[in-house]
Amino acid sequence: MATAYLLPIKTAAALFPLLAIVLLLPTAVLLYRRYGVMSPGRTLSLYGFLYYLLTAYCMTIVPLPKQTTDMCERFALVAHPQWTPGNTFSDIWKEAHHKIDLNALILQNPAVAGAVFNLLLLLPLGVFLRYHFGRSLRSTAGIGFAVSLSFELTQWTGVWGLYNCPYRLFDVDDLIINTSGAVIGWLLAGPVARMLPTLETLDGRALAARPVPFGRRLTALVVDMAGYGVAAVFTAAVLAARGGAVPSWLPVAVFVVWFVLLPLATGATPGKRLLLLRLVADDGGPLVAWRLTLRALLLGALVMPFLSGLFLAVLTLLNEPWPSDLFTTVHDSGAQGMAAVLSALSPAQLLAVTAGFTLTAICVHKTLRHPDRLAPHDRVSGIRNATLPHKRAVRATDRSAPIAVEPVERAADDAPASDRERTPGTTVPAEGQRSATGSG
């Protein structure tokens, strides 16, 4: 039976890297907005949860049967759902051939093995829901039932219409056992959670070390560059659709609007606004156009060669005339495919790709070596990033404000005149906490 589970595990391991790359940017945006930091502990926990869910779903649908004309006849026994609770005990007794024996009833009984597998399938879900998401027992039971129901519906619908008929049985006992496994996982997670540091503690340590994390700024830059590209293409498409010529200076104009005019008007680019960041001057004064322009030019000088190199590589892959055997070589794994792609680039294009990667690597290296993790364009322009309160900090402030602030205000009103100048000082810790969260 162990070999039956090997293929689903291999399938999940093969699919997970692609899923992790696709979800990296939205995951980073979500974590930075909610917690202010993408701490290693929380990131590993979240990606572990995603890998577990992917493996669990692969366990319920893999291996996929071959689609044949007689498929519905071959799987006729599982065509109709099993709605009788407790039918698993009948299956155990049937598989034991009505023998009261330890091996026949338990150790070598495939029905028992299937029930144990269904119990263990959602046990990690209960652990994750309690430790990572802080869910209650009732909430965990509901989520466990919903996840189990999605398994059964996927099987009953033939992977949502991929097959004309189901190839696995919809069993109400599976719903009961899966949900029980999630509940047991939640109960077992209690002692484990007490031994491990909370994720909020790990987040606090990471924020204390770096109030404005490098990854948060990098994520904002990626969002800005993607948004800038979409805006430039959309503007060019609109002009072309109206029959007008697309001016050569259009990318520069969109770049100036995105990285100079919008920060001058709002204090942040759209990407930084999404990541709850803002731009502030080192001297504490307002943002001025020439500093923002200088910062944008330096940023463009560091980023644009990298993007241009990638763009030239894409154009080469799409438009260059290929040798007859190049596609075969490219699709081969290993160094041969990479060498074939690089050989198709002209010397100037290859130099642009190399220069872009080199400049980006130098910029990242200098940023990480700086005590405050300031990038070259931050230091030269005199404009740096500061943080706005993330959602968890805002909720914590809202909960504590009625308790902490109001008594202080009443105390200040009742205090003698000679002491009133010192009384507002009691609010300094709360304000200092907000400043650390807001400015980094």
pLDDT digits (tens, 9 = 90+) for 12-68: 999 999 899 899 999 999 999 998 888 888 888 899 999 999 999 999 888 888 888
CA distance 308 to 202: 38
Q: Please report which confidence band the pLDDT of residue 292 belongs to, taking 50, 70 and 90 as the band edges.
A: very high
Residue 194: exposure state from Cβ atoms within 10 A (0-12, 13-18, ≥19): exposed
Q: Which two tokens stand for residue 34?
A: 């909610």
Share the mean pLDDT of the chain.
79
- What count of other Cβ atoms lies within 10 Å of the Cβ of residue 184? 17
Q: Please report which confidence band the pLDDT of residue 338 belongs to, taking 50, 70 and 90 as the band edges.
A: low
Residue 121's pLDDT is 93
Residue 372's pLDDT is 81
pTM recorded for the entire structure = 0.72
8 Å CB contact between 360 and 301? no
Closest CA to 400 of 424, 421, 425, 431: 431
| Locus of tokens 């009133």 | 420
**Distance of CA 50 to CAs 98, 132, 216, Å?**
42, 12, 21
Q: What residues contact residue 366 under an 8 Å CB cut-off, 6+ apart?
A: 375, 376
Higher pLDDT, residue 408 or 341:
341
Domain boundaries, given as residue ranges, for the chain? 2-205, 210-387, 391-439
pLDDT at 411 over 50: no
8 Å CB contact between 58 and 9? yes
pLDDT at 410 over 60: no
Residue 421's pLDDT is 40
pLDDT at 416 over 60: no
CA 157, 162, 164, 165 torsion: positive or negative? negative
Q: In angstroms, what is the C-alpha Rg of the chain?
A: 30
Q: What residues contact residue 360 under an 8 Å CB cut-off, 6+ apart?
A: 302, 303, 306
Residue 128's pLDDT is 92
CA distance 412 to 238: 61
> 384 forms bridges with which residues in the sheet?
280
pLDDT at 243 over 90: no
Q: Which two tokens stand for residue 286?
A: 């307002």
8 Å CB contact between 172 and 83? yes
Of 202-206, 265-269, 383-387, 415-419, the least confident: 415-419
pLDDT, tens digit, for every residue of 123-155? 999 999 998 888 999 999 999 999 999 999 999
CA distance 296 to 178: 54
Provide the residue count of the chain. Answer: 440
